[in-house]
Structure 1
Amino acid sequence: MTGSVQTEIEDRLERAFSPTHMEVVNDTANHLGHAGDDGSGESHFTVIVESERFAGKSRLERQRMVNRALGDIPGQRVHALAIKARAPGEAA
């Protein structure tokens, strides 16, 4: 199921990176009852994004780029966000 936060994450990443591949996976069901589960059904996500904009950037720079693109979502509206950012042609 795609909820409002997941859709917003997808939209923001699409606008920021024009990805060649993108997956936004809602992992919340794996964390029911754990710390950070706010009952919204949208508290934990994994983001996989591939974009030319990541070429030549370190892993830390890529994660910062994604966090900036997502604005107030990580840490405020989402408890946990796993980021896998790569340039086209890099191993998954």
Structure 2
Amino acid sequence: MRVADTMKKKLTEALAPVRLDIIDESHHHAGHGGAHPDGESHFRIEIVSNAFAGKNRVARQRLVYDILAEELRARVHALSLATLTPEEEQ
């Protein structure tokens, strides 16, 4: 299974997002440190979920990092996050 698919499955199960976009930006980092020859090493995730309500930006990001801990240890070198509640997205 592709890394992006695994991350999507985990985030969907854990956070029931209203919107989830996982963008592979690895091609922008080819030849840089941490870049994997097959790609799927640098991602931008935009996620909108009620699970973020009442949490500050750092707590939201920690929640996502905890969910994706295995991917961050094994393959993902860089992760950019936008974490919003449905109300914040409007």
Question: What interval of TM-score do these two structures reach, taking the shorter chain for normalisation?
Answer: over 0.9
Partner of 1:37: 35
TM score, norm. by length of structure 2: 0.93
Deviation at 1:40, TM superposition (A): 2.1
**Once the two structures are aligned, what percentage of the paired residues are identical?**
34
Cα deviation code 1:11-52 (max 9, x no counterpart): 011001000011000000111111111212111000111000
Work out the number of aligned pairs and report it. 90
Alignment RMSD (CA, Å): 1.4
Spell out the pairing of 1:14-25 with structure 2 (5 A cutoff).
14-25=12-23
- Hey, what's the Cα distance between the residues in 2 that align with 1:29 and 1:75? 20
Q: Which runs of 5+ in 2 are unaligned?
A: none
Q: Helix, strand or coil: the match of 2:63?
A: helix
Alignment-derived partner of residue 66 in structure 1: 64
2: distance between equivalents of 1:82 and 1:76?
17
| Structure 1 residue runs of 4 or more that deviate by more than 2 Å after TM superposition | none
Gaps of 5+ in 1: none
- Rounded to whole Å, the distance in 1 between the matches of 2:6 and 2:18 is 18
Question: Partner letter of residue 37 of structure 1?
Answer: A
Confirm or deny that 1:79 pairs with 2:68: no
TM-score with structure 1 setting the length: 0.91
Correspondence 1:27 to 2:13? no
What is the distance in 1 between the residues matched to 2:73 and 2:23? 17
Following the alignment from structure 2 to structure 1, what is the Cα–Cα distance between the partners of residues 66 and 80? 14
SS at match of 2:46: strand
CA distance in 2, matches of 1:59, 1:82: 13
Q: CA deviation at 1:91?
A: 4.1
Match of 1:54 among 52, 55, 80: 52
